[in-house]
Amino acid sequence: PHKAARTMGRVAQLATVATTLAIRDAGLGSDELTDGTIGLAYGSTHGSSHANEEWVRKLIAQNSFLGMTSTTYLKFMSHTTAANLATHFGIRGRVLCTSAACVSATQAIGHGFETIAAGHADVMVCGGAEELHFSHAAVFDMLHAASKAFNATPELTPRPFDQRRDGLVVGEGAGTIVLEDYERAKRLGKKIYAEITGFGTNCDGTHVTNPSSDGMRGAMALALRSAGVGPEAIDYVNAHATGTSIGDIAESQATYALFGDRVPVSSLKGHLGHTLGACGGIELALTIAMLREGWIAPTRNLEVVGEHCAPLDYVMGEARIAKLARVMCNKFAFGGINTSLVISAV
């Protein structure tokens, strides 16, 4: 409705579309959504950058706030996705907003998992969204982390873990996951795709943009401890791997330190680009699909493993048929914030 859209920038609109599909698939009715037992955890790197740009341009041009739309701020405030989703769907339980760059969605899903486990909600609607804006690409360009060498052949980049990787490619989208107490879902005959059994998160505490392999490994170890399993129980690792020179090395070394070369590893960034705050929701959904269907997507554009990347079992070239019982999904962000989820088949 037009009235609802007045406070939504593109990032909130993307989140609303994805969440509408997820809620419909979960079979949640309006009475359930508004009874206070369902909560929401959702995030993005920031609010609508297009709305923020419009605000700033008008302010510079006019040197005044006169004539500006009062709802513009509501589009670019940091918790715009969570606030707009809660209002749009009438959610009256706890609402958590995560704004932590590339781990925004995974933190939201982890918070949802812990909220249900603690008995604070029966259902949590979780995920993340991001809209595409030139400033997002510019930031990574200034940090020398954006891909430039393949502008004439964009289909060949990003190249996670590859020797010729030269940076990430920014994308947009939204991914929403509906979490529900397992026994409740079974009792009500709900469609259960998989079970989240572990979540780990920590912070490097050392550098804002230079990732720590030890911190990444620590988050994975925390997720395994949360799930009550060891590294040998994991059948596939969905890597964050964005195609940056430093990040891919650190992540590969962290993964190798915990799993050796036993576990198949692949990244979805070559297929989707880096959707920033949305990637944890989108890529978890795709990882669950692989878990259910028994196959592993290859890392697109990975041809020759980078010389400083650890000797992992990289899935490259073609998809791999695999019997998967338990998988791990990792996401890492600026600020040294690391997240890891363990997902089990049902």
Return the active site residues.
Answer: 102, 240, 274
Residues whose CB falls within 8 Å of the CB of residue 49, separated by 6 or more in sequence, listed in order: 76, 131, 133, 135, 136
For residue 154, whether the previous peptide bond is cis, meaning omega lies within 30 degrees of 0, is: no
Q: How many residues does the chain have?
A: 346
HEC string of 151-169 equals CCCHHHCCCCCECCCCCEC
Distance CA 332, CA 279 (A): 10
Distance CA 13, CA 152 (A): 32
CB count in 10 Å sphere of residue 216:
28
HSE-CB of 7 using CA atoms within 13 angstroms: 16
Distance CA 114, CA 227 (A): 12
DSSP track, 3-49: HHHTT--HHHHHHHHHHHHHHHHHT--HHHHTSSSEEEEEE-SSS-H
Distance CA 315, CA 300 (A): 9
Strand residues in the chain grouped as ranges (E)? 38-43, 95-98, 123-130, 173-180, 195-203, 236-239, 264-267, 295-296, 313-314, 320-321, 326-333, 337-344
DSSP track, 109-122: HHHHHHHHHTTS-S
Distance CA 103, CA 243 (A): 16
